[in-house]
Each structure stands twice: as structure tokens, then as C-alpha cells.
Amino acid sequence: MAVNLGLEPGQILQLLPKFVGIDRRLMLKAQLGQITVLDDYAHHPTEIRASLAAIRQRYQPKRIWCIFQPHQYSRTRFLLDDFAESFKLADVTIVPEIYFVRDSLSAKKTVNSQILVEKMRANGTEAVFIDGFSRICDYLKDNTTAGDLVVTMGAGDIWKVADEYIRWIRANS
């Protein structure tokens, strides 16, 4: 793309090491107390699998804690089986309630995060439903240890969990 925009290959090679990535795509939020915190926009099963594989390869953490906020009830229902399979590379997946956007109230009645978590567990994934971002942070505080990596994942406002968790680590280190 840079060549198509008119940059010379030499310029690209000079600038590339300064590229830190795209906002909310495997974005490194913090490395504190031997815990790495990332945020990722992945909200489709294919993206989730790719992101978790990249995280495992790049960081080689002791454990990956994936906090996934499903985006839309209709998408969750249509892709339920694919979602249930997509978290195999996470050691623990925490799922809050589905981010409500553009869905009808009838769609909201057809699926919920607990159903997704049950499907994930049936597929051999360690998963837990925790409603409320503060409760998720409390769970992370009680269960993460040095060498772990926490990634918030989804198209909604799940990034707030990463920010709250980072504030807690900084205040308690």
C-alpha cells in the first residue's frame, strides 16, 4: 500500500519499525507486574481464532485470559456454534452480557451469553459468564498471576475492562 501511495522501498523500511499498529487490533495496553494486557476489536469467530493464535505465538504467555463481549444478539445466535469453537486457544474465556446494538427485543430473547458459555464448555473451553465489568475485574484480580496475558475482545465497550484492570494493577503494584 505504501508503494502504491508513492513511497520508495527504502523509506518504507525506515518507517516500518516505528509503526505500532492499528487501534484496537492486538493493541498492547500495558505490561505491569508480569501481566500483559491487550485489547482487540475481534468480534467474528475467524478474527477471534486469528487473534488468539497471534497472541499465543507473539507473547507465549503462561495463560491467556480472554474477556469476550459478544456483539449483537442476532450475530451471536447465527454464529453460536462457530463462536463456541473459536476460543480453543484461550485458557479461560470470560463472557459478559451481549452488547446490545441494532437488535430487536425479540432477538434479545433468543440467545444470551450464558447459552454461549454453555456451548463453549461443551466444546472443552474453560468459560465463565460474569455480568458487569467491575465483577470481571474482581475475578481477574483474584485469579491472574505473573506470566498471564489478559485480552479484552469485541466490538463493544469491553475495552473498559482492560482500562479498569490496568488502573487496579498500577494502584496495587
Tell whether 15 is covered by a domain. Answer: no
Tell whether 162 is covered by a domain. Answer: yes
What is the domain extent for residue 45? 21-171
**Ranges assigned E (strand) in 26-123:** 27-32, 35-40, 63-68, 92-95
Q: How many domains does the chain have?
A: 1
CA dihedral sign of residues 151, 99, 171, 140: negative
Tell whether 4 is covered by a domain. Answer: no
CA angle 113, 114, 116 (to 5 degrees): 65
**pLDDT beneath 70: ranges in the chain:** none
Q: What CATH number should be reported for the domain holding residue 101?
A: 3.90.190.20
Tell whether 10 is covered by a domain. Answer: no
Tell whether 86 is covered by a domain. Answer: yes
Tell whether 6 is covered by a domain. Answer: no
Tell whether 45 is covered by a domain. Answer: yes
pLDDT digits (tens, 9 = 90+) for 70-81: 999 899 999 999
pLDDT at 53: 98
**Ranges assigned E (strand) in 91-136:** 92-95, 127-129
Tell whether 48 is covered by a domain. Answer: yes
pLDDT at 21: 72
pLDDT at 167: 96
pLDDT at 20: 73
